[in-house]
């Protein structure tokens, strides 16, 4: 795996971790506006052209799987 591919994977993995954290915070407190904004931002990332440049994995599927974890 080349360094650029490793970096791309690390970006996607970190976004998934951050999304899990935001979802947990929202589960505990649905009125948490910071967590809601973070989750919304990460969802936009998984649907973005930039995400599609980083990986061929379907962003909607990733979001669905992450939501199912909670």
Indicate the pLDDT class of residue 1, thresholds 50, 70 and 90.
confident
Q: What is the DSSP code string of the chain?
A: --HHHHHHHHHHHHHHHHHHHHHHHHHH-TT-HHHHHHHHHHHHHHTSHHHHHH-SS-HHHHHHHHHHH-
Give the chain's mean pLDDT: 96
Confidence of residue 26 (pLDDT cuts 50, 70, 90): very high
Q: pLDDT at position 35, please?
A: 98
């Amino acid at each position: 795996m080349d360094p650029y591919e490793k970096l791309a994977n690390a970006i996607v993995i970190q976004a998934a971790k951050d999304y899990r954290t935001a979802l947990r915070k929202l589960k505990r407190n649905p009125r948490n506006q910071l967590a809601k904004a973070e989750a919304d931002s990460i969802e936009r990332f998984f649907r973005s052209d930039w995400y599609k440049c980083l990986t061929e994995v379907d962003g909607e599927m990733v979001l669905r799987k992450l939501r199912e974890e909670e």
